[in-house]
Chains A and B, each alone.
Chain A
């Protein structure tokens, strides 16, 4: 039976998945919420009915019962979670695949998601394999004496390495999203902070376990894009650099490859470090039998030392930055298409040598926000939305071009992803500037004030790409 994919996501990624399904000759169904009824992902699916209803309104994108009910009713055989929402929820992946009417979860198998979704476990496995991780504990500490011992050692090591203002981070082991993290500069501060974080962790997460890590400040945030099949094949699609982020640690500008000597004089052999992180990523992927797309996130210090940060067991927003510098049979691949095909059981059909890396690419995330006011989201209605048409650029958006669109206040005010590429990073940057100059976004909020976007911020930060 031909597969039919339920797209359990919204916005631009839903549209990209929709297109990938069509290109693969697969049928699809989308879900949407009331707040999203004007989104282009809903309109496209509504227009594409041909006798079948392809758009179903659900209570929420995070209601698994609704999503599975629609999947069953519409005869879907697979679910694509996109990014966010259920994409890294192993319980959802498990529920999709282990039920009376099992479906294919388009992502890694649930056991891999569970194993790598646990940051402490990932760190422990990585350490066992000799993969560098951020210096510190790889398991929760419940004992103040032990905490002090680890902290002393971490502070001493930094002093020996002549790191300015050495410090450590004390984190709630069960925490996440930047909550329950305190910085300690002197060992005398540790006991007080340890108790504070421990109490917080007990109160918030019901577990007083604490992690202690070296605090890294001067670094670049890199990613390695892996694509793997259910048949033990594991390839990489290069590296990308995601260092430029908002104050809330949300990425705004990404570039591939991860380092480029034309942008900065690195204190290390950049190509060698990139090779290293790719090799380490593949080593860990092999060890856990990774079987779909995934991103290995790395921190690279100014001296070139890489540390594995975490593994994102899903397709990422920025996957296309890597695809735009990777050529398969002289064509840029579509990693979403690859992800779906491989999750449905296909073999890769090519090997690492078939992937030719050339040129540079940049992703610009266009967001309605006030970058001068802590990246505060802008709410209102977009009346004009147009982009230059270039054969060296692609735009992914759920904002319609032919009608006014009110940004729903239920979700982030992301407007579009713009990908530009060129023969080298200088060309890619110039094209990015040219593209931004030709972009028109107009709109007003309820008070009649003009739309605020991050275009000036993106333009202003292009030169910072791939630098320390």
Chain B
């Protein structure tokens, strides 16, 4: 069904602009002091347990408590809102943009988003895996979880109520997860990418092709 995918065109697109531009926002209010500058190369979180912090980007001070904010991704600072330096900023303010070079794995994920069966968010809400699914993911990893229509896979939390969400779509395995538990997801945004049995050859083909052709 996806045999008409033009791999050359897709890969050329990524070759011409192999970056993602990530806006860095303030997590809360406070006095802002930048600690990185334009064109600085920044490191992301690293380490076996993601325990090594990325490059310090800026600090937010509230009630004499200083909160350092580190880069979560590798890249280059492409722009900074210099006008905010030393100012009191609101929560959610965009303060800088990082140009992040896409890795092979990220490109594969992006291409797969067009191939996998996407299970979208039924409402704008916070989502969590159903307890049973979560414990199976913890034990065996998401790609070992097969789901079929009417399986209770998620809990949707909105307006102080938790509602079970049943899967609707072709049977398959959970290949990709596009949400963070507890994060608000807009209605229609992808939650899961499901790989059905008949898409498996295509997915393997995509992975092999990107691996072979991407430096």
Show the binding face of A for B, using Cβ within 8 Å: 33-35, 56-59, 63, 65-66, 68-70, 72-73, 376-377, 379, 409-413, 446
Residues of A within 8 A of B124 (CB): 379, 409
Residues of B within 8 A of A411 (CB): 159
A409-B125, A409-B159 are known contacts. Are A66 and B184 too (CB-CB below 8 A)? no
**Which of B84-92, B134-142, B143-151, B189-197 lies on the face that meets chain A?**
B84-92
Q: How far is the CB of B157 from chain A (nearest CB, A)?
A: 9
Kindly report which residue of chain B lies nearest to residue A446, judged by CB atoms. B187
Q: How many A-B residue pairs have CB under 8 A?
A: 66
Kindly report which residue of chain B lies nearest to residue A68, judged by CB atoms. B63
A379-B124, A409-B123, A409-B125 are known contacts. Are A58 and B158 too (CB-CB below 8 A)? no
Residues of B within 8 A of A409 (CB): 123-125, 158-159, 184
From A35, A68, A69, A413, B184 is in contact (CB under 8 Å) with: A35
Residues of B within 8 A of A59 (CB): 27-29, 91-92
Residues of B within 8 A of A69 (CB): 28-30, 62-63, 88
Alpha-carbon distance between A105 and B105 when the two chains are bound, in angstroms: 53
A35-B184, A66-B28, A72-B63 are known contacts. Are A57 and B161 too (CB-CB below 8 A)? no
Alpha-carbon distance between A412 and B161 when the two chains are bound, in angstroms: 10
List 18 additional A-B contacts (Cβ < 8 Å) besides A57-B29, A73-B29, A379-B159: A33-B91, A56-B90, A57-B92, A57-B93, A58-B28, A58-B90, A63-B28, A68-B62, A69-B29, A69-B30, A69-B62, A69-B63, A69-B88, A73-B88, A409-B158, A410-B158, A413-B159, A446-B123
Residues of B within 8 A of A410 (CB): 158-159, 184
Q: How far is the CB of A406 from chain B (nearest CB, A)?
A: 8
Residues of A within 8 A of B159 (CB): 377, 379, 409-413
Kindly report which residue of chain B lies nearest to residue A408, judged by CB atoms. B124
Residues of A within 8 A of B188 (CB): 446
A35-B184, A409-B159, A410-B184 are known contacts. Are A58 and B91 too (CB-CB below 8 A)? yes
| Chain B window 173-197, contacts with chain A (Cβ cutoff 8 Å), 1 for yes, 0 for no | 0000000000010011000000000
| Chain B window 21-52, contacts with chain A (Cβ cutoff 8 Å), 1 for yes, 0 for no | 00000011110000000000000000000000
Alpha-carbon distance between A70 and B90 when the two chains are bound, in angstroms: 9
Alpha-carbon distance between A45 and B159 when the two chains are bound, in angstroms: 25
Residues of A within 8 A of B27 (CB): 59
Within 8 A of A (CB), among B60-80: 62-63, 65
Alpha-carbon distance between A411 and B91 when the two chains are bound, in angstroms: 19
Alpha-carbon distance between A69 and B91 when the two chains are bound, in angstroms: 11
From A34, A57, A70, A377, B158 is in contact (CB under 8 Å) with: A377
Q: Does B160 contact A (CB under 8 A)?
A: yes
Interface residue count on the B side (C-beta < 8 Å)? 23
Q: What DSSP secondary structure best describes chain B's contact surface?
A: loop
Whether B65 contacts A65 by the Cβ 8 Å rule is: yes
A65-B28, A409-B125 are known contacts. Are A376 and B91 too (CB-CB below 8 A)? no
Alpha-carbon distance between A411 and B158 when the two chains are bound, in angstroms: 8
Q: List 15 A-B contacts (CB under 8 A).
A: A33-B91, A34-B92, A57-B93, A58-B29, A58-B90, A63-B28, A65-B28, A65-B65, A72-B63, A377-B158, A379-B159, A409-B123, A409-B124, A409-B184, A411-B159
Residues of B within 8 A of A413 (CB): 159
Residues of B within 8 A of A35 (CB): 184
Kindly report which residue of chain A lies nearest to residue B124, judged by CB atoms. A409
Alpha-carbon distance between A377 and B158 when the two chains are bound, in angstroms: 9
Q: How far is the CB of A163 from chain B (nearest CB, A)?
A: 34
Whether B123 contacts A57 by the Cβ 8 Å rule is: no
Kindly report which residue of chain B lies nearest to residue A35, judged by CB atoms. B184
Residues of A within 8 A of B29 (CB): 56-59, 66, 69-70, 73
Alpha-carbon distance between A34 and B94 when the two chains are bound, in angstroms: 13
The 6 closest A-B pairs by CB, nearest first: A57-B90, A69-B62, A377-B159, A409-B158, A59-B91, A59-B28
Residues of B within 8 A of A68 (CB): 62-63
Within 8 A of A (CB), among B191-207: none
- Please indicate which of the listed interface residues A33, A73, A409 has the most CB atoms of chain B within 10 Å of its own CB: A409
Alpha-carbon distance between A56 and B91 when the two chains are bound, in angstroms: 8
Residues of A within 8 A of B158 (CB): 377, 379, 409-410
Residues of A within 8 A of B187 (CB): 446
- Please indicate which of the listed interface residues B93, B161, B188 has the most CB atoms of chain A within 10 Å of its own CB: B161
Residues of A within 8 A of B63 (CB): 65, 68-69, 72
Whether A65 contacts B91 by the Cβ 8 Å rule is: no
Q: How far is the CB of B14 from chain A (nearest CB, A)?
A: 31
Residues of A within 8 A of B28 (CB): 58-59, 63, 65-66, 69
Whether B62 contacts A376 by the Cβ 8 Å rule is: no
Residues of B within 8 A of A376 (CB): 161
Alpha-carbon distance between A379 and B122 when the two chains are bound, in angstroms: 11
Whether A66 contacts B62 by the Cβ 8 Å rule is: yes
- Please indicate which of the listed interface residues B29, B93, B122, B125 has the most CB atoms of chain A within 10 Å of its own CB: B29
Residues of A within 8 A of B125 (CB): 409
Alpha-carbon distance between A72 and B64 when the two chains are bound, in angstroms: 11
Residues of A within 8 A of B92 (CB): 34, 57, 59
Alpha-carbon distance between A379 and B161 when the two chains are bound, in angstroms: 12
Q: How far is the CB of B10 from chain A (nearest CB, A)?
A: 31
- Please indicate which of the listed interface residues B124, B160, B184, B187 has the most CB atoms of chain A within 10 Å of its own CB: B124
- Please indicate which of the listed interface residues B62, B90, B122, B158 has the most CB atoms of chain A within 10 Å of its own CB: B90
Kindly report which residue of chain B lies nearest to residue A412, judged by CB atoms. B159
